[in-house]
Structure 1
Amino acid sequence: MLLPIASFAKRCLALVVASVLYASAAQAVTVDLITNGDFETGDLSGWNSTSSSYAEDFQINNGRFNPRGPTRRVDPISGSYDVMNEQTGYGISTLTQFFTVPDRVISASFNFTYQLVNHYASGFDDPNQQFRVSLIDDAGAVISQIFSTQPGDAAVQGATPLSYDLTSYLQAGVGSTLGIQFDVETSYYYMNASLDDIAMMVETPATVPLPASVWMMLAGLGLFAALGWSRKARNGVDIANCDGPVAA
Structure 2
Amino acid sequence: MNAIANLKECVILFLCVLSFTLSSQSNVIMNGDFETGDLSGWTSMTFGSALGWNINDGTYTGTCVSNGPLATRQPISGNFDIISDQSMAGMNLVSTGFVIPDPFTSASISWDMLYDNRLSAGMPKFQDPNQEFRVVILDSSMMPIDTVWSTDPGDPDQVLSAMTVSETITDPLMGREGEMIYLLLQEDDNLGCFNVAVDNISLVFSQAAIPTLNQWGILILSLILSIIGVSSLKYTEKEVLN
The TM-score, its normalising length taken from structure 2, stands at 0.75
Q: Are 1:164 and 2:167 an aligned pair?
A: yes
Structure 2 CA distance, aligned partners of 1:196 and 1:212? 35
Q: Post-superposition shift, 1:207? A: 3.2
Contact 2:132 2:150 in 1 (8 A): yes
> Where in structure 2 are the equivalents of 1:1-248 lying within 5 Å?
26-69=21-64, 70-71=67-68, 72-121=71-120, 122=123, 123-158=125-160, 159-210=162-213
CA RMSD of aligned residues (A): 2.2
| Cα separation, 1, equivalents of 2:215 and 2:36 | 42
Tell me: CA distance 1:79–1:53, structure 2 relative to 1, closer, same or farther (3 Å): same
Counterpart Cα distance in 1 of 2:106 and 2:152: 29
Cα distance in 1 for residues equivalent to 2:163 and 2:215: 49
Q: Percent identity?
A: 30
What is the deviation of 1:211? 6.1
TM-score, normalization: structure 1? Answer: 0.73
What letter is aligned with 2:60?
F
Deviates more, 1:146-155 or 1:195-204: 146-155
SS of match in other structure, 2:92: strand
* Cα pair distance change 1:23/1:67, threshold 3 Å: same
CA contact (8 A) 2:148 2:169 kept: no
Residue identity matched to 2:199: D
Residues 212 and 104 from structure 1, CA distance in 2 versus in 1: closer, same or farther, beyond 3 angstroms? Answer: closer
The aligned length equals 196
Paired AA for residue 102 in structure 2 = D
* Structure with bigger RCO (C-alpha 8 Å, 6+ apart): 2
Q: Which amino acid aligns with 1:119?
A: R
Q: Provide closer, same or farther for how the CA distance between residues 213 and 138 of structure 1 changes in structure 2, counting only shifts above 3 A.
A: closer
Post-superposition CA distance 1:35-89 (Å, at most 9, x none): 0111111111111111011112101100101121223222111111100011111
Q: Secondary structure at the match of 1:178?
A: strand
Q: Could you tell me which runs of 5 or more consecutive residues in structure 1 were left unpaired when the two chains were aligned.
A: 1-18, 215-248
